[in-house]
Amino acid sequence: MTLVLEHVDKRFGANVAAQDVSFTVPEASVFGLLGPNGAGKTTTIRMIVDILRPDAGQILWHGIPAHEIPRRAVGYMPEERGLYAEMPVGEHVRFFARVRGLPPGEADANADRWLERMALADMRDAKVEELSKGNQQKVQLASAAVHEPSLLILDEPFSGLDPINDELLRELLGELRAAGTTLVLSTHDLERVEDLCDHVALIARGRVAFAGPIGELRARHAELTRVRIEVEGDSDGLVAALPRADVLGRENGVVRLEVELDGDRDRLLETVMRFGTPRELTVVEPSMRTIFLAEVGQDARAAAGDEQRSEP
């Protein structure tokens, strides 16, 4: 158990940004911090990287309080990207290595390695502002991770990436994780989480709605699993027998419908067989979006609607 948040509170005047936030990020995991804009993700992250101090509660990394974590151990890429536009790319990355406390030789070596890894090596002497947007994003990531931290926190890392760089980042995250880096990603892109993260925390309105392994989250919402059936036969009778089913389509005596898997699959199949012959039967796992909405309720849906971005 590496990064632990315990009952963390943070308010700005009357505005509550985080309330009783607790979760645990296991070592070498990819941890997704999910929530709509304004939910408190950025505030939570800023407290982890000790830009902000919590009003109450504590944040521990291997048992060390957040403000005492060695700076070399943590890397952070903010949601709002920022670079020194007029600096040459190589110097830019090296500067961030030096600021994190790497000695000159090591800073040079790490900067070179990251430029190589990001396919930026031949742009070393170009000014940052001369690069394409995608390449600037890569400079940003290289600058955030050049000191090879054991905890790397990325706020909305995928926003604004084209498919090629998206893939590059995905590979890179895989490599970092394999090397033992603990990754915390914040995102409001829920579908993204499913194939990247193994642990998640759902945040809405400054509170944690769920925190734990993604499998556990799924298990909690097994009732949201639905079954899609295509049946040939007495479609009217079948629809009448399954009042909660959504009819997706009907033609020439074939009906396609989706229904909640209320516990027993056999009973559902029995009902179907009474009215016709099933041509297809698929179990549909709930999407992250569905689960998220079930966890945080209508409240969060409203919050997601008005995009508050006033977290200082």
Footprint of other proteins (CB under 8 A): 46, 49-53, 55, 71, 74-78, 80-87, 91, 95-96, 98-101, 143-144, 310, 312
How far apart, in whole angstroms, are the C-alpha atoms of residue 92 and residue 86?
9
Least Cβ distance, residue 181 to other proteins (angstroms):
16
Query: Which token pair is 173?
Result: 């995250």
Instruction: Please say which residue, 87 or 281, places its beta carbon nearer to other proteins.
Output: 87
Place of tokens 């040459």: 88
Least Cβ distance, residue 166 to other proteins (angstroms):
21
Least Cβ distance, residue 182 to other proteins (angstroms):
15
Instruction: Please say which residue, 230 or 311, places its beta carbon nearer to other proteins.
Output: 311
Instruction: Please say which residue, 70 or 253, places its beta carbon nearer to other proteins.
Output: 70
Q: CA 266: distance to chain centroid?
A: 36
Instruction: Please say which residue, 95 or 158, places its beta carbon nearer to other proteins.
Output: 95
Least Cβ distance, residue 227 to other proteins (angstroms):
47
| Max Cα-Cα span within the chain | 77
Query: Which token pair is 271?
Result: 């009902």
Q: CA 7: distance to chain centroid?
A: 21
Instruction: Please say which residue, 75 or 206, places its beta carbon nearer to other proteins.
Output: 75
Question: Edge to edge, what strands does the sheet with 199-204 contain?
Answer: 74-77, 151-155, 182-187, 30-34, 199-204, 207-213
Instruction: Please say which residue, 148 or 230, places its beta carbon nearer to other proteins.
Output: 148
> Which residues lie below 8 Å from residue 61, measured CB to CB, with a gap of 6+?
2, 3, 4, 69, 73, 74, 151
Least Cβ distance, residue 133 to other proteins (angstroms):
14
Least Cβ distance, residue 111 to other proteins (angstroms):
14
Instruction: Please say which residue, 169 or 245, places its beta carbon nearer to other proteins.
Output: 169
Least Cβ distance, residue 73 to other proteins (angstroms):
10
How far apart, in whole angstroms, are the C-alpha atoms of residue 235 and residue 253?
6
How far apart, in whole angstroms, are the C-alpha atoms of residue 112 and residue 13?
45
Please provide the DSSP assignment of 210-223 as one string: EEEEHHHHHHHTGG
C-alpha torsion 196→72→101→138, nearest 10: 0
